[in-house]
Each structure stands twice: as structure tokens, then as C-alpha cells.
Structure 1
């Protein structure tokens, strides 16, 4: 998760002024003038090889990004003593002369990413010593090793925001940030870090730390109580543990451990305010079931070893609930893409504030919406791409999920569920049941209330707005299947044997905005009642003539690919040009002798894509 630097805002939204240079022979002659706005000089992208010398002397911000400056010489900035912000990103900068900042010591923000400062880091480090008020420093992408960075950063005691991403640092020890007691934000992503040894322990004001995209194998004895956000995603972390003996309350709110190699749910601090725990794309599973079998050879504890082969002091019971730490303030828990095959008893009840639970792409085979004790605060539940065959829940318990709005069950193998399930969720707005084997209950079945069925009732769900039933092997859609709903998005695609009659979608004309009927065996259909449609997909069907009812709609998107169209009448083509913004026509057997429509489209746009906010695909 990239973090942007803190830049003091001095920009006044005045009219841009153009200023021409009268440059002496010793200064760089500009091909185009810089731009001035208030006390800001914008000299970006001008192929400059040196700093302009005759800008107004009172400028507070100077931007020199994307030029060809290789050296900041000793006198190049002496004419700008009021400078507070200097940005020289994306140049050829390899050296800053030691006296370059002697007359601009008020600089608070210095941005030097994507240069070559590793070449002259010794002289650059000496130059930075003059910036006693420097608060923000960006040295990203300069090829710095940890030894180089340590020297460059020496004595910069006023730093609050430091960015060192995209360098080549391997290991951090307690000395590299020893002078930076004021640091609030530190970005170290995309280095080559494999070890961190007490480098942050003395940074008592550090709130945001980014070590993503490195090669860290573990984070143990985490004890940064003041940290609010930690991004350690995209490493090789197998274990995360906090210091188990600390009684202090941790301020940590967001912990991102996604895209690692975690085997266990992280051992969080006992007292914390964590709200967002991101664990997607790991190998997390739960192991409490191993204690149920007395004949198992598994030990009840496990001891972890560090890289040097010495036993660490992390010896834990894998099924000790206390090691989950303080999770009562959790708002988002993302376990997408792990190996979870069940949730431990009482696990969810310990998170009474949980709003979003993401369990997609795991190994869950069973789900009981009642017995799992989902918190009433839950808004979003994602159980997609698991191995669920049956969904259970009783009507009285489901009313406790009064705040659930989004439910994702797609890509399972559901064949049985309570038919009234979705109508028992009073706030439900979005349901995705795509690629299951659940049909739509008929009106007769709607009056019968079996405990479980292979169909679901969609009538009278007044809160429902988005419904996705793609690839459900639907064949017969009962009449008024969505009666007394306010659906805006309906996806029935990839049901090639479905029979869609005009009365099937009765009642949706006043609300439906996005309709997907791709690959549904459609030959013709009257779209006149759906006057609010903005997006329509009727691709991969058997449509031989463009339905005339489409011409009365104000569609933004229309997909007609892979049908049987041989031509489009001129009048229809003219109407489409005026109303449709994005049109896909590929894969149709168009007759080259009946191609007047082609000329109409070509004259309205730069072929094959966009002008006038319209886009056409190749026929």
C-alpha cells in the first residue's frame, strides 16, 4: 500500500502566469518558460540541465521534476533564501554539493526520488546537514544501500516523513534511524529487506510504517505500541507475533499482512484498537480440531526457530484462544485466499463490531448463518469460491443480521438452502449466487415453505438492488419472478438454456438500470418497458436483427458481440450514434455489401475507439 509524502500546501488557485527569462550567458537558456503561480515556480519537463538562476527571489516552492539535472551545485539555490519546498524528482541527479543548501536552510520538504544519489551519497549527506528544519524527505529509487542511507540521514533530527522505497537495502539495525526521534511516517517498501533488528524500537512517534514488497521471513515480538498502521504485505512472512508480556494498549488500527506465507492467524497484542486486519493470499488455517482426537500424535505446543537456527522464546499452544489478542474492535477481517476450512467456536462472537468479513477462496464446506453467531454489526459477508453445498439458518436467528447488505456466495456448489433465506435479511441490497445450482422458486413454491430447497424466492425483497445469477443452470424463469423488488442490476448471463419471457421481468421497468443477458439463448426481446436501462449485455446470443425497442432507450453501454447480425439499418445506426456511448459489435457475420452503418459509425468517431465520448469495437 503506497503512502504519499506530506507536502506543505502553499498553492493559491490564482491564474497561471507566464514568465519569460532574460538569462545571462552563464545560466541555462530555457526553450520554454517556467510557470509561476503565487510563490510557486513550476519548471517540470523542460530538459533543464541546471537550476534556473533568475526566478523571483521570494519563491517558496520550486519544482524541477523530470529534467536532466545531474548536480546541485553550491550556488545554484543561493538566490532563493525563502525556499520551503524543493522537488527534483526524476532527474539524473547523482551529487548534491556540500554547500548547496547553505543559503536555503529553511527547506522543510525535499523530494529527490528516481535519481542516482548512490553515486555521490557522501557529498549529498554532508549537504543535507544544513537543512535543520527538514520535515519531509523522499529518497525513493536512488539505489541506496543501508550503509549509504545511514550516512545520508545522519543528524537529520527534524525529519517527520521519510520515504526510502525502491532502494536496495538488505538489513536494518538499531543505528540507521538513531537520530530520527520525530519520525511519524516511514516508507521502506520495495527494497530487499530480509532482516530488521530493533530498527524502529526507539521511534516513539512513528505512526505509519510501510515495509511491503520485501523479503521478510517473520515479524516476532511486535511491540510498537504507538504505531497506527503497519503494511507488511508482499513479503515471505510465515509468523507474526506481538510481545505477549506487554500490558500497554497498542494504538494499531490497520495491519496488512496480505500476500505472505502465514500459516497461523497472527498473535495480536492483548490490548489493542485494531480495526482492519488484512490476511488475504496466505496459508492461514485453524488447528483447534487437532485436540479433539486423543489418538493424534500432534503436540499441543509448537516452538518456532529463527533464521540463525536458535530456538526463540516463542512457544505457543496453537489452539490457545488468548493468542488471538484483542480483536473486539475489529471492523474488517479479510481472510480471502487462505486454507480456512472452518471457523473456531466463538471466534466471530469475539468481534462484536465486525462490519466486513471476507472468506472468499478458502476450503469451507459448511455454513450455518445461525450457529456461527455472526455479529449484528455485519454489513458484508463474502463466502465466494469455497466448497459450500448447503447453506443453513433459521428465520428467527437471521433477523439478527439486520444490517447485512452484501452477501457473496458465488462460485460454490450450493444445491440446498432455505428458500426464504434472502427475504429474512431486512437490509440486503446485493446478492451474488452466480455459478451455483440454485433455481428461482415459482409462485406456487413460494406459498410452500420447506426448510430446505434447491430454489430461492426473490419476490417481495424491497431492499434488494443488485442480483447476480450467472451460470446457475437456470432453465425456466417463472412469471413475475422479481415482483415487488427494486432491482437496479440483474445478471442472468451464462444460462444458455434459460427461457426468458416478457412477463418474467415484469415490475422491473421502473428500476432496472443494468441488465446482463449474455449467453442466454436469446432470439428477440422487447426492451421498451425498461426505460431506465443504462447498460445492456445481450452478447453471445442468436439475435439476427437489432431489436427496435433498443432505439427508445438512452444506453451508455451496449454489447452485441457474437450474435447473428448481418447489417444495421441506417436509421438505427444514426440513432445509436447519438445515444450509445460504448458499443461492442465484434463476432457478428456482417455483410460487407450492406455496410452503410459502418460509414455512419466511422464518421462519428476516430476508428476504432474514442472521440465525442463514444467508443466502437471492430465489427
Structure 2
């Protein structure tokens, strides 16, 4: 049975909701950076979105905005939220409390958040929170997105997030996590654990040494693990043994019946993983080979010497591969064949031709010595970054097989001169960056490309080929030319570009002599 008071509250809530639907005026209001010390008293009750960020509201008391759906209180040095503060914000779905001091009165602040039953996203980053942070969101069972970044959390107890059955995005980056062992994040699709100091596997180290144990049934699609110490263990076999032992202890099984770690990873629907800036001394072949749904893989800054052929063959869905700042050398594919017998390599190079779905490849700063023939044949490359591979020799057939698909090519900062650079006709190329080299002559082969952006900065050009500029001028929108010593007596190409509407010329004062 409902009491009279209960029925009255339901009637008031329905009436308020109808008013919010019917009234569409005055939906948003910003009081950002207004030196406020409290919430203004004359706020329109019809507001749906309110920005009170970057003020000096150190304490928050009750205020009534029945239509409010989004509230930003970030950057206020707030340390106290009264228990009734959010009691009259029945429709609030998005709350930003980042850059405050919620840790000071954690008990009171936690009670205040309990009234927000419909909250969908909560940001409590940069609040000096430690291990009691869970009290702030434990009762917010409708939350889809939770940001707890840049706090002082050193441990997360098991089942901390279990009440949040709708949680899809969890950001725990930039904490001091010492241990995580939670098997209840089945529905999470985005997990950020980057920049932590994690002992996932009860090791004496001070950083995340290998991949986390994840629930058997999960929906995780986006995983950020950059800036840890992944791969610092002696071998992958040692890691798997340690992780399985930990798993056995957590699930309280006396007999280890299976390789739990790999069994769980095999079920993950990951499409994105960021492993940049870790310490992969030996490549984690067995583990990463299980992730055959990957579309985006970031391995920047890991000092990898090569990617094994057997691993590349598992990346059947990969589209974007960031390998910047490693030590990879591309293999040469002979006779236009992608079969193993016709790949010229000695297990120290990387056979990119195995990646048939690959569209975007970053090989910047890999100290590539030679870009061999057919290095990328078999891929579907749209963009290729080869910048800062100093003194790299480019074979005239290096881009064979991708010359018809490439739309963006970066070969800046490789210290190459015009006699050492030969590029094929690339009919899809719209952007090319050949800056910071020693070039003094433009490539006539670029005349067949529908170029929109050309970057030739910091070379030895005294002029640009008039015929080439004329050929590409139809689509050209931007040309960067500063840092060259152009001859003012041979600037006919420049007058041609000046007749083009909306063409931007990036030029320094001393570029034309």
C-alpha cells in the first residue's frame, strides 16, 4: 500500500517532468569563471544544463532545478556537499565534480550523491581521493560512465564496481593502484588503466607488469594500458604462470584446471588496445595473438625489434597500427607474392604485407635502414608515416602495391636528397609531407595525384616545377614552403598559385631571396 505522502511525491514528480518536456526555453546557462562563492539564487527553474565550473564554491547546499539534466561543478575547490544538496535535482544525469577536494568530507559528500538515482555519468577526477572513493558512487546504480582519473587510489577491493550493473566506461588512469582483482566488470566496454603503479599479479614490482585478469564474459572493446611496465617480466611463460596462480587463489580453486588467463582473453571482443610506452623486451605473442578482433593497436615506444609473422597473421581485422619509436625493419616481398616462401626475411624484419585490412601505419622513428621493394604490398594502406628514419634508403619499388590506395604520405626528416627519392604515380594521394630533407627538385610523378596539401618546408628548393604546380592546382588548398631559399627571379609557380581562390601559402619572411 502507498501512503498519501508517497502518492503526492509521485504526482509532483510527474507534474515536474511534464513541465520540463513542455517548456523548451532557457535550456542552458553558463556561470563559468565568474568568481562565484555560492550557487546563484535567481536561476531559471527550467534550466536543463548549468555550468558553474572554475569558481570558488567551496560548499554546496540544496537548490531546486527540477529540469536540470547536466551540472558542471568542476574546478571549485569544493570540499563539502550537504546531504540534501542534490535532493531537488530529480532529472540530473550528468555530473562533473572534477578538480575539487571531495576527499576532505568524504562521508558527507558520499551521502549527498545517494539521492541521484538516475545519474548516468560521474566525473570525480583530481579530488585527492584514496581508497574510500567507492563510497561516492556505490549507490549510483544507473551510471554508464565513471571517471576517477588522477587521484591517490592505491587499491580497489573486489566487487567495488559490482553494484554498477550498467557501467560501460571506466577511467582509472593516473592513480597509484597497487592491486586490482575484480571479475565483475562484464559489461564494461571502455577501460583506461594507463599511467598507474600497479601490482596486478602480486609481484614485488611497482608497476603493471602484464595484462590484467578480466572476467570470463565481458564486453570490453577499448582498453588503455599505456605508460606502465608491461612486458618487464623475463618471459611470457613466467607471466602466464604467475597470473594463473593468482587467478586460482582468487576463485578459491584448489586445482588449476585450465589456462584461465588466456581462456578469458580469447573471449574479449577488443577492437582497440593502447600498449604504448611499456617495456616489451620479448613480444607477448601468445597473449596478443588471441585478440583477432583488433582494429586499432598502439605499440609506440616499446623498443620492439620486429613483429612475428605468426602474430601478424592473426590480425585479420586490423586497420590502424601505431609502431612509432621502435626498431622495426620492413621485409621485402619478392615476386609480388605474399606466401611465406617468397618473403625475403630472416625473422628480424616485419612482414607488413600480411595485414590485408591495414589502412593506417605509423613507422616514424624506427631507424629504418632500407625501405625494400614491395614493403607494403598486400595491405590496404591509406596513410603511411615514415618520418624521422634518418638516412633511410627508399627503393624505387618500395610503394609497389599501395600506390593506388595511398592518400597521405609522410617522409619528412629522413635527410634524403632529390637523387635518392623516387616515387611512383599515386592517383589517390591528397597529402604529402617531404619537409625537413635536402630536396632541391620536385618529383614529376606527383603530377598525377589530386594533391590538396603539400609540405616542402626546410629543404633546398630555389623554385618549384611550374608544370607540376599547374597539374595539381585544381585540388590544391595548402602549400607549406617556409625554410627554403627560393629565387625571386624564378617565382612563376608562385604567381600561378596566387590565382587560385582559397589557396593558403605557408611562408616565412626570409623564404624568398
Common fold: TM-score over 0.5: yes
Equivalence for 2:11: none
Q: 1:255 to 1:578 in 2, by over 3 A?
A: same
Bigger mean CA offset, 488-497 vs 162-171: 162-171
Report the Cα offset of residue 264 of structure 1.
Answer: 3.9
Is contact 1:539–1:561 with CA below 8 Å preserved after alignment? yes
Report the Cα offset of residue 428 of structure 1.
Answer: 0.9
Superimposed CA distance per residue, residues 552-597 of structure 1 (whole angstroms, 9 cap, x where no aligned partner): 2211111111222122244444445444211111222323443343
Bigger mean CA offset, 187-196 vs 361-370: 361-370
Is 1:433 the counterpart of 2:323? The answer is: yes
Equivalence for 1:612: 502
Is 1:536 the counterpart of 2:432? The answer is: yes
Report the Cα offset of residue 612 of structure 1.
Answer: 1.4
Equivalence for 2:367: 473
Distance 1:182 1:595 in 2: 64
Is contact 2:227–2:276 with CA below 8 Å preserved after alignment? yes
Superimposed CA distance per residue, residues 380-420 of structure 1 (whole angstroms, 9 cap, x where no aligned partner): 010112222221223xx756423110000011222354233
Equivalence for 2:146: 255
Equivalence for 2:78: 193
Question: Larger % of helix: which?
Answer: 2
> Match for 1:455 among 333, 349, 359?
349
> Match for 2:168 among 253, 275, 279?
275
Q: 1:334 to 1:199 in 2, by over 3 A?
A: farther
Is 1:353 the counterpart of 2:219? The answer is: yes
Equivalence for 1:585: 481
Equivalence for 2:125: 233
Report the Cα offset of residue 492 of structure 1.
Answer: 1.4
Distance 1:242 1:107 in 2: 37
Equivalence for 1:504: 398
| SS at structure 2 position matched to 1:504 | coil
Superimposed CA distance per residue, residues 424-457 of structure 1 (whole angstroms, 9 cap, x where no aligned partner): 21111111111111212344895499xx944221
Report the Cα offset of residue 276 of structure 1.
Answer: 0.7
Is 1:171 the counterpart of 2:78? The answer is: no
Is contact 2:453–2:476 with CA below 8 Å preserved after alignment? yes
Q: For 1:59-78, what aligned pairs fall within 5 Å after superposition? A: none
Distance 2:191 2:33 in 1: 33
Is contact 1:250–1:269 with CA below 8 Å preserved after alignment? no
> Match for 1:492 among 386, 399, 405?
386
| SS at structure 2 position matched to 1:348 | coil
Is contact 2:457–2:480 with CA below 8 Å preserved after alignment? yes
Equivalence for 1:145: 37
Superimposed CA distance per residue, residues 71-109 of structure 1 (whole angstroms, 9 cap, x where no aligned partner): xxxxxxxxxxxxx99xxxxxxxxxxxxxxxxxxxx9764
Q: 1:590 to 1:268 in 2, by over 3 A?
A: same
Q: For 1:318-333, what aligned pairs fall within 5 Å after superposition? A: 321=181, 324=182, 326-333=184-191
Q: Which runs of 5+ in 2 are unaligned?
A: 1-18, 199-206, 241-260
Q: Which runs of 5+ in 1 are unaligned?
A: 1-83, 86-105, 112-135, 288-318, 606-610
Distance 1:339 1:437 in 2: 26
Equivalence for 2:280: 388
CA RMSD of aligned residues (A): 3.7
Is contact 1:283–1:338 with CA below 8 Å preserved after alignment? yes
Distance 1:542 1:479 in 2: 23
Is 1:339 the counterpart of 2:197? The answer is: yes
Q: 1:436 to 1:345 in 2, by over 3 A?
A: closer
Distance 2:96 2:359 in 1: 38
> Match for 2:448 among 549, 552, 564?
552
Is contact 1:286–1:343 with CA below 8 Å preserved after alignment? no
Is 1:404 the counterpart of 2:300? The answer is: no
Distance 2:214 2:443 in 1: 51
Equivalence for 1:365: 231
Is contact 1:419–1:455 with CA below 8 Å preserved after alignment? no
Higher relative contact order (CA 8 A, sep 6+): 2
Distance 2:414 2:408 in 1: 16
| SS at structure 2 position matched to 1:551 | helix
Equivalence for 1:51: none
> Match for 1:595 among 484, 491, 497?
491
Q: 1:504 to 1:137 in 2, by over 3 A?
A: closer
Equivalence for 2:96: 210
